[in-house]
Amino acid sequence: MSALPTLYHLIDGQPFASSRPPFENRNPATGALIGHVCEADAGIVDRAVQAARRALRGPWARLDEHDRAALLRRTADRIRARFDDFLAAEVADTGKPVSLARTVDIPRGAANFEVFADQIANTATESFRTATPDGRGALNYGLRTPRGVIAVICPWNLPLLLTTWKVAPALAFGNTVVVKPSEDTPTTTALLAEVMREAGVPDGVFNVVHGFGPDSAGQYLSEHPDVDGITFTGETRTGAAIMRAAATGVRPVSLELGGKNAGVVFADCDLDAAVAGIARAAFLNSGQVCLGTERVYVQRPLFDTFVQRLRAEAGMLRPGDPRDAATRFGPLVSATHRRKVLDCYARARADGATVVTGGGVPQLPDALAGGYWVQPTIWTGLPDASPVLREEIFGPCCHVAPFDDEDEAVARANDSAYGLATTIWTRDLARAHRVAAAIEVGVAWVNCWYLRDLRTAFGGARQSGIGREGGAHGLEFYTELRNVCIKL
């Protein structure tokens, strides 16, 4: 074992190792080993769940919503106070450019705590005056109580942002949590545990276990009988496995899963805005965004021009050291994921795609040559039935196809097992409303992409997930609603 840092599990405020050997943490930009991470066995997961269970009955239970809101705000303040630490960890774990992490991931990680601090201060429940035979009546009112111990299983693409997106509402509504970060991006969650303690969150309220999915921390946590609810963001197949585990004990799940999102560009759009918007939707974070656009449908009169303009945008994405403020394009998260994306690139060529740009691995200087890089890629010419247009790739790529009229565009956008998001580009306001209502997704953007108000509902349809997150919409998962009836 080298002198590189080792990340331990955090349980009841204390670090723990486990019987399994640590696994490696590598920098995606260089492939260099940057640390080791303890892998949880079943005993470690049980210890974490029991710590969270005890904390539900401890000092945490005696805090009211104003006290919890204050803790959340202090947590947000501490994230900002340690901004540079979080930034360095996020960039080292994910390989994303510092320009992106600085403006999106770390600020949003802090903002999530503030949004839900506001939410608990403004959450009302229903009440009804009910008639009774004696004429005196009864009062019925809703009472929301914490669901209990929440398992938070997080993805690797936006590790701090999406972890806090789940942890903040869980704690706001009085739950305790056991968090399993992705094995590829564990460091910001470990930092978050430190920040929670600095902010005064009681021991046992926030616990962290590291590891993988099957036969590791993810499976043990999903199957644990003392976990009261499971929230997960990630691949649809993993979500299905979590649902099967949650069926034992009939425990609720909140799942934000995969997508094969469509962008629809009408001939009357603002062309400059549409090209820039689709380029961002396809290539931001090297395409590793669940809301990204991998299928683009462009009205035929605009098609050739749009493809060439999008090609030029992709050509401006130069890979470079993620720590350099000028870099706008980073690597994929791991060697395993790069193999998957490159296999999809090869399959597109084999299926007869026209490669407009990209399709391979860029040439890089020696310092970055060991990283997990692929080129931003655009295809045309594939039939809608091609596996490349049916399966989520999660890389910096998109296929562009022409369409003739609105009905065709909607039908092709809906021709997917998924239903997470869409982006629509048109100057026709009536058309914008029609198409946004007709495409079967959880989020529809018009003349924009990835513009989020954190109070709004977020989630997917069909194989893109179950449930909604954001603002008051998370109440259904993070709380139990009890009706209290008082005879007057």
Round to whole Å and give the CA distance between 63 and 235. 36
Instruction: Name the catalytic one among 256, 294, 313, 469.
Output: 256
**Among 119, 60, 13, CA closest to 470:** 119
Q: What is the dihedral of CA 472, 473, 476, 482, to 10 degrees?
A: 30
Q: How far is CA 266 from the centre of its chain?
A: 29
Listing DSSP states for 190-227 in one string gives HHHHHHHHHHTPPTTSEEE----STTSHHHHHHH-TT-
Instruction: Name the catalytic one among 154, 290, 344, 398.
Output: 290
**Among 383, 386, 360, 399, CA closest to 261:** 399
What single letter denotes the amino acid at residue 151? A
Round to whole Å and give the CA distance between 46 and 18. 12
- Find the length of the chain: 488
Cβ burial 58-92 (10 Å sphere, 16+ → b, else e): eebeebeeeebbebbbbbbbbbeebeebbbbbbbb
The residues, any chain, with a CB within 8 Å of residue 460's CB and separated by 6 or more, are 256, 257, 259, 418, 419, 420, 421, 441, 442
Round to whole Å and give the CA distance between 488 and 137. 6
Round to whole Å and give the CA distance between 164 and 168. 5
Spatial contact of 192 and 166, defined as CB atoms under 8 Å apart: no
Round to whole Å and give the CA distance between 181 and 322. 22
Per DSSP, the chain holds a count of helices (H) and strands (E) of 15, 23
| 256 has catalytic annotation | yes
450 backbone φψ class: left, alpha, beta (φ>0; ψ -120 to 50): left
| 194 has catalytic annotation | no
Orientation of helix 65-81 relative to helix 106-121, angle to 10°: 170
The residues, any chain, with a CB within 8 Å of residue 202's CB and separated by 6 or more, are 55, 58, 59, 60
Three-class DSSP category at 429: helix
Return the DSSP state at 276: H
Catalytic sites, residue numbers:
256, 290
